[in-house]
Structure 1
Amino acid sequence: MKTLAPALLALCLAAPLAAQDGPAQDRKEAAAPTPPPTISVTRHSGTFGGQRVAYSATAGETYLKAEDGTPKASIFSVAYVKEPRDPNRPVAFLFNGGPGSGSLWLHMGAFGPKRVAIPSDARDDGAPPFPLIDNPDSLLDVTDIVFIDPVGTGFSHALGKTEPKEYWGVTADAKSVGEFIRIWLNENGRWNSPKYLGGESYGTTRSAAVVNELEGRYNDVSLNGIILISTILDFGAQAGVPGNEMPYVLFLPSMAAAAHHHGKAPADAGTLEQFVEEARAFAAGDYALALLKGQKLQGEERAAIRRRLARFTGLSETYLDEADLRVSDQRFYKELLRDRGLTIGRLDARYTGRDYDSAGEGPDNDPSFYGIDAGYTAALNSWVRGDLKFRTDRHYSTIGGVGDWNWDLGGGGGGDSKYYKNVAPYIGRALRENSGLRVFVGQGYFDFATPFFGAEFSLSRTGIPADRVHFEYYGSGHMMYVRDEDRTKLSRDIRAFIRNR
């Protein structure tokens, strides 16, 4: 849908890559009988949150089937379960975003029992070998964990004659993930366990839609908590289309954070938190009002807004005047450090890169993505194919494995509109109808893919009980766990969230 293309770009972890498994492989599979699912179970132990835990790791396929029992899709997952098993122990279902991203980022970067060790200070991850080390920040001391790769991501794919596009959309994707969760609960006897659902980036969108599938019917799966990491729920508000003023408002506090980090903030800016709070107040107040006035904003009133905007963005008043007080995120990446010949990252503005030249409106690429992707891909394949002994000829699709996405919300608690897509009402409805449900929101100050002020805006709307939505903030970006201090804090924060149910 053309009007949503900018919103889609705003939540993908990077520009989509070509799917690694082509039509030839799919046609070959369609002509052959479907083999039974491949499943590998191994046993391990580790120390997590200061506790020694023995656990099983089940890496394998789960088949989603048609009403006649014909397998339609294979969902790959890795489930880590504490041994001996406890049916009353919490279980968390986690995935990443994209749409089209595998779960390797949360798996190998934040919450799995092993993690890839890449530089914590916003430097490039370099070349292999990448250290695969024990992860004491895994949540296995407080919950079992199931990492899910939806159809078109990771090793997950359509089967037989099924078209994969049947699963590529907000509602269809949520239904398939919801079906997988029900199957997993059946097979593992965990229907009465405390349950948590969580995702990152588009994975937060998926979380809201899956909550609607699980709790929005009478034979529901009740949840204890939703974990939102780098949140994108309201696509209309953040759609970068001419005439929509909200993106400028929602990105401004992130611009202030980036300016502060790179030494472009004024001498009296104070701490990062103080400067960001000042930018929040300006963005939601005088700046928003100024944008709403449009061309009626003139003279000294306009000049005053321009001066304050320069304070928060670190950009010159001349540039801001030429941009009509409206600086897109793409322009900001290029302009903030143009005088140094550098661009800043989109996923994490702490990262810097050097383009082919210093001219142009936007950066050549995102240094905060190409600075980490190789390490995560190598780590996932090494861990799953090696230690977990999962055997497959398929390539692991890290990101970019899905086609055109259907943004139809299918009505329900989120409503639907041809032009405005917002899944936050799904969460509001779930909170209103489940008094035991709580929401954790983790946001990085330097994240431009899913800016923290956008998350605050979408979750402060009418119908969402604010007393059960908890925010935490981190001194990094979209994938805050790449920074050692923030990974430990994120783990500690979510561990407390689960324990305080």
Structure 2
Amino acid sequence: MKAKFIYISCLACLLWMGSAGSSLMAQGISAAANPNQLIMQELEVSEKDHSIQAAGKSLSYKTTAGFMHMSNEGGKPKAKFYFTAYTLKNVSNPKDRPITFVFNGGPGSSSVWLHMGGLGPRMIEMTEDGEALPPPYNVIDNPNTWLDKTDLVFIDPIETGYSRPAEGEDKKQFLGYVEDIASVGDFIRAYVSEFKRWNSPKFLSGESYGTTRAAGLSGYLQDRYGMFLNGIIMISAVTNFATLNFAPGHDLPYIMYLPTYAAIAEYHKALPNEVSDLDAFIEEVRQYAKGEYATMLMKGDQLTEDDKLRLADKLHQYTGLSKEYLENTHYRIHIRRFVKELLRDRKQTVGRLDGRILGLDLDHAGEGFEFDPSYNKAIYGPYSMAINDYVSRELGFESNLAYEILTGRVRPWNYSNVQNEYLNNSETLRNAIHKNPYLKVMFINGYYDLATPFFATEYTVDHMMVAPELRDNISMKYYESGHMVYIHKPSLDQMTKDVRGFYEEVLKK
């Protein structure tokens, strides 16, 4: 079934004063009404009815898949957003049904990973550990879907998935931190208005750079449109890029990554000593990283010979890397080196997205791996098949465009709002919580994630300076998985329980 809907809107002039404008200015977003604001022009969608068994019950739902064509207020076409929405049927009052807007990161990633990996009602079939089965692959029912707790809208930002600028429009107007927040935020406002969901409890869920987007949207939606959120689920988060960007003279990432290095080394039994309790071991490395290790790195080249011996001994104990190698790195382990060096003696590499997954290179003497086995070997092929087949065969939406899974089409990404500094929008999230004390945020972390290490997320949250009486608005969950926590079946099962509990807690009267 194809449906066309036409939407015509005229927005009143809005003058911002005080804190709302200053909060948006902190993100680099103009405090004046945005002349490039996007409004819905028309919908071009396919709608179908489906049902699934999840959470011990039958769920009947409608899918809406296709384009929201968007224009500026003058009616000039600007872009078309591809989205897939899942809405539970037979709900009479929107107050009774939450809605969650979902996206992945990149920048340059479609929403395919969360959509077909763990949140949507259908998912790609993988092994229990999250590796690919032999092609061709299968799409199966997902008993862990979040649909039993919330309607779901999966958004592909411009130049990802099927989403594109309108004909003749410069794509640069969508490709950057500020530009992305504004366009995705405008899509969410337009969707909520068109489908009469202003009175529904509203949530965001992002993964990776999608958590950067979610933090930015928490301020943009609240301060620009008065759209106050109930909750945000941050999966494999990064909101302070200073914790991740390795650079000479910048020691913070070496500290942030150490507990993840240790967890991965323990997983592959590459440590000199056996570990009997993973959580206790990780806590030990945490304390060392924020204590003695941080202090030692602060000394720079003023380390004594005794300092060097102690550093080499501890880092060898926690990473399994040789003391000679550690000395040659000045006791600073770069992620690009770690993925190659950890199992070099076995001629294997470890994954960046998921350090549990191993790869094989041609050159065993290289400085870094030739490809990320946790992406190229494990997930890229299955997820590409899943979304392309599922959208056309089951959702009934046809497009002759290539579905951009994870694309370079968004490069260069514009960070002009943070010249000569690292992007850190955790302050936007803190500000949103202080203005809306009912906003709850859950962080989901994988122990084996080298893209957004869990210790960096802890550091970021601990430096947000959330008021003590609101600190319980933020919760942390941990799983023995990687960046895509949900590809590991035991972690997916536990994550689903935790997420369902989060919705129940946030929405209880």
Taking structure 2 as the reference length, the TM-score comes to: 0.88
Equivalent in 442, 456, 459 of residue 454 of structure 1: 456
Paired position in structure 1 for 2:471? 466
- After TM superposition, list the pairs within 5 Å mapping 1:288-303 onto structure 2: 288-303=294-309
- After TM superposition, list the pairs within 5 Å mapping 1:56-455 onto structure 2: 56-85=62-91, 86-88=93-95, 89-123=97-131, 125-217=132-224, 219-370=225-376, 371-400=378-407, 401-409=409-417, 416-455=418-457
Q: Give identity over the alignment, percent.
A: 40
Deviation, 1:201, is 0.5
- After TM superposition, list the pairs within 5 Å mapping 1:31-46 onto structure 2: 37-46=43-52
CA distance in 1, matches of 2:485, 2:343: 22
AA partner of residue 322 (structure 1): N
Deviation, 1:36, is 5.9
Paired position in structure 1 for 2:11? none
Instruction: Provide the aligned C-alpha RMSD in A.
Output: 1.5
Paired position in structure 2 for 1:482? 487
Q: Which deviations, in whole Å up to 9, do the C-alpha atoms of 1:299-340 show, x marking residues without a partner?
A: 112211210111111111111011110110111111111111
Contact 1:249 1:283 in 2 (8 A): yes
Q: Which deviations, in whole Å up to 9, do the C-alpha atoms of 1:403-457 show, x marking residues without a partner?
A: 2111134xxxxxx553221011111101111010010100100000011111111
Q: Which deviations, in whole Å up to 9, do the C-alpha atoms of 1:111-163 show, x marking residues without a partner?
A: 1100000123254x254221111000001111000000010100000002211
CA distance in 2, matches of 1:278, 1:122: 28
AA partner of residue 95 (structure 1): F
Paired position in structure 1 for 2:35? none
Structure 2 unaligned runs (5+)? 1-40
Contact 2:449 2:482 in 1 (8 A): yes
Deviation, 1:237, is 2.8
AA partner of residue 90 (structure 1): P
Aligned length: 460
Q: Which deviations, in whole Å up to 9, do the C-alpha atoms of 1:95-126 show, x marking residues without a partner?
A: 00001100010000011100000123254x25
Structure number with greater CO (CA < 8 Å, separation at least 6) is 1
SS at match of 2:179: helix
Deviation, 1:255, is 0.4
1:49 aligns with 2:60: no
CA distance in 2, matches of 1:126, 1:112: 20
AA partner of residue 390 (structure 2): W
Contact 1:49 1:139 in 2 (8 A): no
CA distance in 2, matches of 1:122, 1:137: 15
Q: Which deviations, in whole Å up to 9, do the C-alpha atoms of 1:323-365 show, x marking residues without a partner?
A: 1101101111111111111110000000011100210111111
AA partner of residue 361 (structure 1): E
Deviation, 1:471, is 0.5
CA distance in 2, matches of 1:260, 1:36: 53
Q: Which deviations, in whole Å up to 9, do the C-alpha atoms of 1:266-300 show, x marking residues without a partner?
A: 43533211111111000000000000001111111
CA distance in 2, matches of 1:479, 1:418: 31
After superposing on structure 2, the runs of 4+ consecutive aligned residues of structure 1 that deviate more than 2 Å are 35-38, 120-123, 265-270, 462-466
AA partner of residue 112 (structure 1): G
CA distance in 1, matches of 2:433, 2:42: 39
Taking structure 1 as the reference length, the TM-score comes to: 0.90
CA distance in 2, matches of 1:300, 1:444: 35
1:493 aligns with 2:498: yes
